[in-house]
Amino acid sequence: LSQLFRPLDLLGMVYRTIRQGVIDMGAMFDLIDTPAEIVDMPDASALHISDGHVRFENVRFGYDADRAILKGIDLDVPAGSTLAVVGPSGAGKSTLARLLFRFYDPTGGRITIDGQGIAQVTQQSLRAGIGIVPQDTVLFNDTIGYNIAYGRADATDAEVQAAARGAAIAGFIDQLPDGYATRVGERGLKLSGGEKQRVAIARTLLKDPPILILDEATSALDSRTEAEIQTTLQAIERGRTTIVIAHRLSTIVHADQIVVLDAGRVAERGTHAGLLAKGGLYAEMWARQQAERERAEAAE
Ligand code: ATP
């Protein structure tokens, strides 16, 4: 009998993986663009994350054969450290994250996690080990509790509440008329951008992945909300290998390493202080953003 059920089990797993993928991706990965040709190798084994050491070795990639987007990227993100990727729009920052999640395979070089090539392991095990806090979180027309637990159907109420506390959204939920049973989404309570991001953070806390990708929202939040979210994000980064795709440099001052991507190459790398002292591209971007910030604060 168990033989009979195996194909169904497999289907269920594929379905769950897809649903999980959908929820994790949010708006970060335009699903319409997602190619279906990535398949597990016949002898693919499960990824074993012991520390969470992520490496990109001379990674090359283009969405189209005639246009290179990444032109030989080397990254070394030691276990538990934070790497921030910055650079002009279109430089290839989100593409790096898509490759780590194996939505595409590099055309050259390789990506490893704790020494295992990500093309050699099952996609299911790879994606189970990586959490994503996307720019825009998709909420379902269901309760806020369901939205937090999504992807971890077995989570207990106590776990959901602990995740909400960790994401600094528990206080907000407690004062809603129906608490965790309050309906949200298009046909329910509308959440602000900051509140939605906190739901995504709570989901990630429940998933508890050793590797984290944070895709910072491009749209500016007001400075108080930004400061609150920053505090929460820094709490979930602790103890995890984190890659932050950043637009505002003020949010990544603490990163262990900052990589400036420009036209598919690493133009500069170092710490915030080191890059400022260098007086190059990063220092220029920093000066420009500081001036913008001062203007915005004067207007607030
Ligand atoms: P931003 O800061 O604006 O988010 P980015 O640095 O994250 O930009 P990517 O999203 O990685 O940039 O895109 C890098 C380049 O690849 C861009 O020129 C973009 O137009 C192109 N690109 C992105 N996704 C696709 C796709 N699915 N098909 C073809 N080209 C794409």
Q: What is the pLDDT along the chain (300 residues), one digit of tens a residue?
A: 444 444 444 455 555 555 544 444 444 444 444 555 788 999 999 999 999 999 999 999 999 989 999 999 999 999 999 999 999 989 999 899 999 999 999 999 999 999 999 999 999 999 999 998 887 788 889 999 999 998 788 999 999 999 999 888 999 999 998 999 999 987 788 888 888 888 988 999 999 999 999 988 666 566 677 777 778 788 788 889 999 999 889 889 999 999 999 999 999 999 999 999 999 999 999 999 899 888 887 887
Ligand 1 close to Cβ of residue 106 (< 6 A):
no
- β partners of residue 241: 211
Ligand 1 atom 26: the closest Cα is on which residue? 63
Ligand 1 atom with the shortest distance to the CA of 33: 27
pTM of the model: 0.83
38-72 exposure pattern, b = at least 16 Cβ within 10 A, e = fewer: eebeeebeebebeebbbbbbebebbeeeeebbbbb
Phi first, then psi, for residue 215 (nearest 5°) are -110, 105
Phi first, then psi, for residue 170 (nearest 5°) are -65, -40
What is each CA distance from 11 to 6, 8, 32, in whole angstroms? 9, 5, 22
Ligand 1 close to Cβ of residue 246 (< 6 A):
no
Ligand 1 close to Cβ of residue 95 (< 6 A):
yes
Ligand 1 atom 23: the closest Cα is on which residue? 95
Whether the CB-CB separation of 100 and 131 falls below 8 Å is answered with no
- β partners of residue 73: 59
- β partners of residue 258: 84, 270
Helix and strand numbers (H, E) in the chain are 10, 10
Gap between the Cα atoms of 33 and 17, Å rounded: 18
Gap between the Cα atoms of 54 and 257, Å rounded: 13
Ligand 1 close to Cβ of residue 203 (< 6 A):
no
Ligand 1 close to Cβ of residue 242 (< 6 A):
no
Ligand 1 close to Cβ of residue 219 (< 6 A):
no
Query: What type of residue sits at position 262?
Result: D
ipTM greater than cut 0.95: yes
